[in-house]
Structures are given as structure tokens and as C-alpha cells.
Structure 1
Amino acid sequence: MTLIDPDTGLDPLDFEVTKNLAAVPAAQREEILANPGFGTRFTDHMVDICWSVRGGWHRPRVTPYGPLSLDPASAVLHYGQEVFEGIKAYRHADGSIHTFRPDQNGRRLQRSARRLALPELPVEYFVQSLRELVTVDKDWVPSGPDQSLYLRPFMFAKEAFLGVRPAHKVGYYVIASPAGSYFTGGVDPVTIWLSEDYARAGKGGTGAAKTGGNYAASLLPQSEAYENECDQVVFLDEHRNVEELGGMNIVFVHKDGTVVTPMSPSILEGITRNSILQLAEDRGHKIEGRPVSLEEWREGVASGDIVEVFACGTAAVITPIGGLKGRDFYEEQPAGDLALSLREELTDIQYGRREDKHGWLVRLDA
């Protein structure tokens, strides 16, 4: 008999687990974990849950990691109906494994799914899917400095048809990859390329959803950034307000201690960003989420009103911005202590080295 959760009214999913008989040998796995890189090697298993109009969420499984079989007419291949998330699992000193604010990732996945006309996975099922995968692949969670297991939940339209409407069949999956530092330079300051010819999102578009199309649209300007010897690209909206980087939010620190971050309906709400803002507020900093124009940014740096600029996101955590480069200018960005101090505090919480005063950690292996 399955017991219904009294808080949610939902049955926990009963996962069928099929072990990978061709799992990576322990010695080879340890070699991978010694230098995992980022997003290049994957664990032995993955989560697979189906959804249909008639059956709802059903057939939850943990299966061996491997290729997916798709009909060439699958809707995702033609209409891009797809969303995803990014979240990490951290091994603490006592060997336990925790993740960070998974309820927030689950809610963001729901918002993204709603915008892409996909079914909304209950948050409780989202968290359970992470726990099921980590339980099976717990040996893949590294223990080195700044290492973690990067979890990638994603959902896409599987129904085979050619027609512009929401798909009636959808697949939800979770894969995992041991991860080191996102940038090869660690937390060294990065140089940002200002994209003036391309937009990441527009009013009423999908900018606030975590969907592949947004990232596909950023690849050409990101290539332009590389061609101009920059690490990342920053986008503007139609009013020349700062939006975000290709995969991170941006934060400005003012000399009076005010911490400002661009916010608009077309910016993806960052869970790392929100956590950092909370920690800054705990320290007494005034927090502002509002439009920030390019002119305000450049003039603030020139006048000394802006004393620090940094980027933040799940993959990179926090990275100082050391330079802003455009077609006809290069401007050094001021260096400060707040970014790295907040990064240390946040990662200390995530790795269990500091008290979790906000109850953000959720244990996955218990």
C-alpha cells in the first residue's frame, strides 16, 4: 500500500531500478573523479519518467545511462518544446550527500514548462527524482575541492507528429556529471563581450524560461565573444538595459554598499543569484532588483560609484568580472572583496562547512 504524503496529497513515485551491468569500473571512475572537468563524463544511470495526456506522470524508472530512441517526427526536433534545470549534489566531510534548494529548481522547472506548454512536474517528484538517481550513483559524487555532481533534469516533447500544438506525450529525464570548475581559470576575473547586434530574449518571449532555444540563440554571440578574446557575452534589451550573460546573472556593487541586479520579465530568475542576495542582505547590504542601463553601468564604473561587478550561476557559482569589451572600447572593471567573500560563504554552506541558517540544504542519500 502506498502512503499519501499528508503535506502534498501526492503519492511518492514507485521507481523501478535497473542496474547498469556495464557500469564504469571503480578504478576508472576514480580516475575520472580526480579531474572531472565539466559536463564531459556521465554517471552510470539516469532517471526516465513518462507523461501523457491520458496517463499523467507514470512509469518512473532509473535505467542505465545511454542513448534515447526518438521518432524522427518527435515534436521537440521540429518545434523546440523543451526545458531543463541545473542543480548540484555536494559531498560533505562526513560522506553524506546534499543538494541546495531543490524546491526552487523544481518550481522554476514548473514555470519554464508552463511557458513552453509542457506539463508541470510536481516539486515533490522533482526532488524524489534527484534522490533516486543519487542513491544509485552516489559513488560518482566527488569529494575534491570545489567538486560536485552536476545534475541535469530535462523535459521534452516526444510525441511524433507534425503540427503546431502542445505535444500529448512528454519525457522527463535526469542525467548527472561529476564536475570541477566551470571556467578553466577557476575564479579568476573574466572579460565580458558586449553584444549589440544580437538579443537573448524579447518582451513576451521565453527569456524567463530555462529552455534550450535561449541558449541556442546565445551561441553565435558567444562565438563572437571568443573571437574578441572574451570569456562570456552580456546581452541588452530593446531599451539598452543590461539583461544577463549567456548563462549567468550579473550583479553590481555600489560604493554605499547597495547590491543591484538587473531584473525584468525576460531575465531568468537565478537561484544562485537569489541566495547570494539573501546572504548579502543578512550582512546588512541594501538589495535592489531593477532595470540597469548600459550607460548606468559604464558611468558608475567611471565615477567610482560601482566598485565591483560579478556574475553568478549554478555552474560557475560566482565569478568576478574584470573587463567589459565592446566594438570600440575596453573598460577594466573594479575589483572588490564582496564577490569572493559571498562565494566562500555560499560554498561553505553547500559543502556543510558553515551553518545552514536558512534551511537550504536537502540530504539526498538518506
Structure 2
Amino acid sequence: MAAFGTVFMPEMALTTFEGNRWSDAELVNAQAIALHPGAHVLHYSSTCFEGLKAFRHADGSVHIFRMDANIKRMMQSSRLLSLPAVDPVQLGQMIIEVVKKFAHDVPEQPGSMYIRPTHIGTEAAIGKAAAATLSSILYVLLSPVGDYFAGGAKPLRLLLEEDGMRCAPHMGMIKSGGNYASALGPIARARDSVDADQILFCPNGDVQETGAANFILIDGNEIITKGLDSSFLHGVTRDSLLKLAADMGMTVSERNISVEELLTRAAKANTEAALSGTAAVLTPVGTLIHQGRDYAVGTGLAGPSTLKLRQALNDIQWGKTADQHGWLTRV
């Protein structure tokens, strides 16, 4: 199978913002877009995106998972980046229409159709380093995918980074490409130096997130993750898993957790850790690397609560259990 996110459907939904209004959305060739070399996005990073999925159910129907939550977050990202305000109704229609067009290409379980709405500033104005773009493009790409991690549910190795940050603190809750780019160098060095799969950014000992996913700690019946603030991405999958954990009777603790507490709890036999995200779903963490030493999380293997939560989420997405939270949109 091709690498995750490298295969695309031939058409995408697209609308442009010009003259203080959005154009009617249309399906266009997904091979390219036209941009002036002075486009705002190329010089001042006025860009944000979303990631959500559509799933094929056993009866052949196709359902999009938590589209409304992703649209709401894209509106927030666009606003905080001073991009033109996104029309949530139009974006929802664009997502549904392009998924409907390629519904037959949505993979069977365990695959899905990854949906990537993207918003970029297009005004040709290299003098606008301190001013917002007046024009933009909003488009929706589709990519049929399998598992994000090639090893499936194989436990990951995380390097705890206490000196650096993934991004500027006030930018963390924005899903913008620059936040991911700033983490690439540290992640590459961590892979080369200690064979880490990802970095868990813990500035000044405060456990936050990895370069591309939220972090969750499970200690017995308690699920612990950092409380929402501006420093990290407010994951839709994170939110979904916390709701499912509460449904299962688990204690949900959204609060700060220090590296010291993390390592202390990780030493307990019944502790589990995992990364959550649209692509990662819920992927177990088996090892934490801190100051040159490896610390096993619990048994070092995928734990029962991690697997149970992942399965519960997948079962809703694939229509195997009732969608009691109203998360699915049928196309």
C-alpha cells in the first residue's frame, strides 16, 4: 500500500475569497492550484488545515466523523491567523459533495477516506508582513488511507523534550503548517540519536503534546491529559476519546502533568500511554526516553484500556455500535 496521504482523488472542492465574498464552490482538478509567487501564504504562512475521515459501513453507506467539530476548529484557526472568515455551511456542503462524488473510492475497513480542508492566503503583497491577506482559497482534498503508523498498534518510543516547544504558546491551538514544520528538526534528531518515533514536548517540565498528536496517560481507571489552553492543539479525537472514557465509567482528568509525575506513574504496572489524532487514532506508547534513559510505560506493551478505547472509537466510526453522540454525517 502507498504511504499514508500520498494518493489523492482526481478532483477537489474549491472556493475563492475575493472582493469580500466567497465564490460558489465547485469541483476542480486536484492536480494543481495557481498561485502568484508573491502570495501571502508563501511569505507569511497564512495557512491552516483540518483532518477528518469518512468511513464505509457494512451496508455500503459512507459516513463522515465529527465534521461539525472540525469545521468549528477551522473557523477558529482562520480567525486567529487573520484569514477571511470561513462560511461553515459552505464548507460543510463542500466536504459532503466531494466525499459523495468519490464515495465508491472510500476504502473498506480498516481503511478510510482522509479529508483535508485547507485555507491559504493568496493576495500578492510581499509588503504585508504585518497585515492580513485580503484574498484566499479554501479547498478540500481527499486521500484514501490505511493505518498512519506502518507498524499498526506497535508501541511507540517518545523522547521527552523539556527545553524546546512545538510552537509559540499562543499558536498551539491553531492547526497551521508552521507548527508542524517547527517540530520536524527536533523529531529527526530524536530519531537519529535515540531511535525515538516522536518527541513529547514538555517545556519546563509541562507535558504537552507530540509533533503531530495529543498525549494521553492512563493510570488504572483514570485517564489524564493536559487541560485545554492556547499552547497545544485541541484534538477532535482527544475530545471523542475522553467522552467515550467517561461513558465507560473512567475518571477523566484534564489538568497539567509534570515530567516527574509522568515518569513516576509510568513505572506502575497498570499504567498506559498513547497518542491520539485523526491519523493516529489511539496509538500506544511503550517507552519514554528521558536524559539518556529508557523508561517503560507499564508493561511496555499496548494496554487493555488503550485497545478498548481505540476499538470503541473505531466501532462508532465503522457503524458497528450506535452513534449515541451524533458524531456521524451520512453522505
Which TM class, normalised by the smaller chain length? Answer: over 0.9
1:76 to 41, 60, 70: 41
Q: How does 1:39-118 map to 2 (within 5 A)?
A: 39-52=5-18, 54-118=19-83
Q: Which residue of 1 aligns with 2:257?
A: 292
Q: CA deviation at 1:265?
A: 2.0
1:158 to 2:125 alignment: no
Q: Which entry has the higher C-alpha Rg, 1 or 2?
A: 1
Is structure 2 residue 273 aligned with structure 1 residue 309? Answer: yes
Identify the residue that residue 3 of structure 1 maps to in structure 2.
none
2:136 matched residue in structure 1? 170
For structure 2, the residue ranges without an aligned partner over 5 or more in a row are none
Per-residue Cα deviation, 1:187-214 (whole angstroms, up to 9, x for no partner): 11111122244311233x2111000110
TM-score normalised by the chain length of structure 1: 0.86
Q: Give the 3-state SS of the residue equivalent to 2:295 in structure 1.
A: strand
Q: CA-to-partner distance for each residue in 1:125-154, whole Å, 9 max, x for gaps?
A: 2221111111222222111x3200101100
1:326-337 correspondence runs (5 A): 326-335=290-299, 336-337=303-304
Match of 1:342 in 2: 309
Asked whether the equivalents of residues 44 and 137 of structure 1 are also in contact (C-alpha less than 8 Å), the reply is no
Secondary structure of the corresponding residue to residue 245 of structure 1: coil
- Alignment of structure 1 residues 196-207 onto 2, 5 Å: 196-203=162-169, 205-207=170-172
**In the alignment, what sits opposite 1:6?**
none
Partner of 2:230: 265
The DSSP-based 3-state class of the residue aligned with 1:324 is: strand
Runs of 4+ in 1 over 6 A off after TM superposition: none
Quote the residue 2:106 is aligned against: 141
- Quote the sequence identity (%): 36
Distance in 1, Cα, partners of 2:298 & 2:89: 43
Q: Say whether 1:321 aligns with 2:265.
A: no
For residue 243 of structure 1, give the secondary structure of its aligned residue in structure 2.
coil
Let me know the Cα RMSD of the aligned residues. Answer: 1.4
C-alpha distance 261-306 of structure 1, shift in aligned 2 (>3 A): farther
Assess if the C-alpha contact under 8 Å between 1:248 and 1:313 holds in 2.
Answer: yes
Q: Secondary structure at the match of 2:5?
A: coil
Q: Classify the secondary structure of the residue corresponding to 2:28.
A: strand
Question: Aligned partners of 2:260 and 2:212: how far apart in 1?
Answer: 22
Shift of 1:225: 2.2
- How many residues align structurally? 324
Q: Secondary structure at the match of 1:66?
A: coil
| Displacement of 1:120 | 2.5
Q: Provide the residue aligned with 2:85 in structure 1.
A: 120
* Unmatched runs of 5 consecutive residues or more in structure 1: 1-34
8 Å Cα contact 2:217/2:272 also seen in 1: yes
Aligned ranges 1:180-195 → 2 under 5 Å: 180-195=146-161
Verify the 8 A CA contact 2:84 2:135 in the aligned structure 1: no
Give the 3-state SS of the residue equivalent to 1:209 in structure 2: coil
**Structure 1 CA distance, aligned partners of 2:24 and 2:87?**
15
- What letter matches 1:269 in structure 2? H
For residues 184 and 254 of structure 1, what CA distance do their matches in structure 2 show?
27
| In 1, Cα distance between equivalents of 2:71 and 2:269 | 37
